[in-house]
């Protein structure tokens, strides 16, 4: 049993005792009003049951989409180079330094030259006391589909920043990973210092992450240690992390900004298709499944709209706000979470999970995904465009009319469906 599990157990025991005393039942029950009640599942159409059975909530490590710059990108380095590059646990080190181009005051820098850099043992020592686990989705600002849905474990970044004893003139920090010792290959991100020290209620700390889905972080995923910023697009989640600079610079100096990206955008809410039929028969039901990203504005609904190709699209309504959207079903929390976890069981205990009931405290969970499904039946043969969108937790259709893909792609997806006689 590791530290997180021990604490979870303690908390569970205490809470159980408390509720036993009160004689309360049904602790932490989640609202299922919008969801399929479990007992109704037997009435779900077999076609839909089959389509849904193929969905896995957590993404297996090997199924993540990988983006990594460098020549070669660190995960493509020959294995014999990993040790020398600090890309294995035994040789990994993290520096926390004052930015030499600013007047930041840092009393105890963690520095390689002074032999004070944080190493793996140091990180594991911090983990014993401070480790956290949470689920969060990684999505590229420019990606049409999430890179992956992970259960991440790590030490809050603030614990390591405090070790360096910053005292004044620190307004931001920036950080980067291994980059073949070539400044031109550096992929750097930055954060305001306030976000590092505090988390809004219900949000998670930014972590120095060393585990995905309860396994050590592989080099493909940015191991041994990467940053995970749970409420931002993945460009903030720098992989192969080796250096953090504390700075008095008040401006973002992210590499990604130089490539025309908005680097401070929170994750947007949007819907995507997973399975749609290319051809269906008129009047016969066909299953559709998809995934929705639950961004900063939350999610209340996923909707779809089937539009005959020969009918013209509404004028002056590029986001189809007046179309006849229909509600799809959001799937409830899974019994088996996937991601290669043995028997699909979550380890104790991700921050979004109630330690007593083992169920999510809320559903869907912000900054994660939720699967959705529906059965469509079409009367009239022909060619159709099938689209999906979301309604966020504020009741706003997403995407709302704003043409800013560089703040995060949340375009309305469209696929074709042919309906045959
Ligand atoms: N060191 C480093 N970290 C990086 C990048 C990179 O090129 N180098 N790309 C970033 C971007 S833009 C994205 S979208 C994510 C992708 O994370 P993944 O490969 O684990 O899916 O990594 C981020 N971290
Ligand atoms: Mo990205």
What per-residue confidence (pLDDT) applies to 18? 47
Residues of the chain with pLDDT > 70, as a percent, come to 92
For ligand 1, whether the C-beta of 339 sits within 6 Å is: no
Pocket test for ligand 1, best of 58, 64, 65, 68 (most atoms within 8 A of CB): 68
Q: Is the pLDDT of residue 33 over 60?
A: no
Q: What class does CATH assign to 69-258?
A: alpha beta
- Express each pLDDT in 249-292 by its tens digit: 999 999 999 999 999 999 999 999 999 999 999 999 999 999 99
Nearest protein CA to atom 9 of ligand 1, as residue = 68
CB atoms under 10 Å from CB of 68, counted, come to 17
Residue ranges, CATH 3.90.420.10, the chain: 69-258
For ligand 1, whether the C-beta of 239 sits within 6 Å is: yes
- Express each pLDDT in 78-110 by its tens digit: 999 999 999 999 999 999 999 999 999 999 999
Q: Ligand 1, residue 68: give the atom nearest the CA.
A: 7
Predicted TM-score of the model (pTM): 0.93
- In sequence order, the 6+-apart residues with CB closer than 8 A to the CB of 103 are 169, 248
In terms of CATH architecture, what is 268-420?
Sandwich (2.60)
Q: What is the mean pLDDT of the chain?
A: 92
What per-residue confidence (pLDDT) applies to 157? 99
What per-residue confidence (pLDDT) applies to 5? 78
Q: Ligand 1, residue 176: give the atom nearest the CA.
A: 1
What is the gyration radius of the CA atoms in the chain, in angstroms? 23
What is d(CA 132, CA 4) in angstroms, rounded to the nearest whole number? 7
For ligand 1, whether the C-beta of 175 sits within 6 Å is: no
For ligand 1, whether the C-beta of 187 sits within 6 Å is: yes
Residue ranges, CATH 2.60.40.650, the chain: 268-420
Name the token pair of 207: 């972590």
3-state DSSP helix/strand/coil percent for the chain, to nearest 5? 20, 30, 50
pLDDT band at 32 (very low <50, low <70, confident <90, very high): very low
What per-residue confidence (pLDDT) applies to 35? 45
CB atoms under 10 Å from CB of 420, counted, come to 11
- Express each pLDDT in 322-357 by its tens digit: 999 999 999 999 999 999 999 999 999 999 999 999
Ligand showing the shortest atom-to-Cα distance for residue 225? 1
What per-residue confidence (pLDDT) applies to 402? 76
């Amino acid at each position: 049993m590791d530290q997180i599990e021990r604490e979870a157990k303690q908390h569970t025991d205490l809470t159980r005792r408390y509720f036993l005393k009160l004689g309360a039942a049904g602790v932490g029950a989640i609202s299922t009003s919008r969801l399929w009640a479990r007992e109704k599942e037997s009435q779900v159409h077999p076609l839909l049951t089959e389509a849904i059975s193929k969905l896995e909530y957590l993404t297996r490590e090997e199924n993540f989409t990988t983006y990594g710059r460098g020549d070669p990108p660190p995960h493509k380095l020959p294995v014999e180079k990993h040790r020398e590059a600090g890309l294995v646990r035994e040789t990994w080190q993290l520096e926390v330094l004052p930015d030499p181009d600013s007047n930041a005051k840092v009393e105890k820098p963690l520095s390689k030259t002074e032999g004070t850099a944080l190493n793996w043992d140091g990180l594991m020592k911090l983990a014993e006391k401070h480790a956290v686990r949470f689920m969060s989705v990684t999505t590229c600002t420019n990606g049409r589909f999430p890179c992956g849905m992970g259960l991440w474990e790590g030490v809050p970044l603030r614990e390591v920043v405090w070790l360096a004893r910053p005292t004044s003139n620190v307004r931001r920090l920036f950080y980067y990973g291994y980059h073949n010792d070539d400044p031109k290959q550096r992929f750097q991100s930055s954060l305001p210092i306030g976000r590092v020290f505090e988390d809004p209620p219900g949000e998670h700390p930014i972590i120095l992450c060393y585990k995905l889905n309860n396994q050590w972080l592989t080099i493909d995923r940015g191991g041994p240690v990467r940053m995970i910023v749970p409420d931002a697009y993945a460009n903030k989640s720098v992989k192969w992390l080796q250096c953090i600079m504390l700075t008095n610079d008040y401006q973002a100096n992210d590499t990604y900004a130089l490539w025309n990206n908005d680097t401070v955008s929170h994750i947007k809410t949007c819907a995507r298709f997973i399975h749609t039929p290319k051809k269906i028969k008129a009047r016969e039901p066909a299953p559709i499944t998809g995934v929705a990203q639950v961004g900063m504005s939350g999610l209340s609904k996923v909707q779809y709209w089937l539009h005959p190709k020969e009918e013209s699209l509404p004028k002056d309504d590029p986001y189809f706000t007046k179309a006849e959207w229909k509600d799809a079903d959001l799937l409830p929390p899974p019994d088996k979470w996937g991601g290669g976890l043995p028997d699909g069981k979550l380890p104790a205990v991700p921050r979004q999970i109630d330690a007593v009931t083992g169920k999510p405290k809320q559903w869907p969970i912000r900054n994660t995904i939720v699967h959705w499904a529906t059965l469509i039946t079409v009367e009239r043969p022909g060619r159709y465009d099938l689209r999906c969108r979301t309604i966020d937790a504020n009741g706003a259709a997403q995407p709302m009319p704003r043409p800013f893909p560089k703040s995060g792609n949340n375009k309305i997806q469209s696929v074709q469906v042919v309906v045959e006689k």
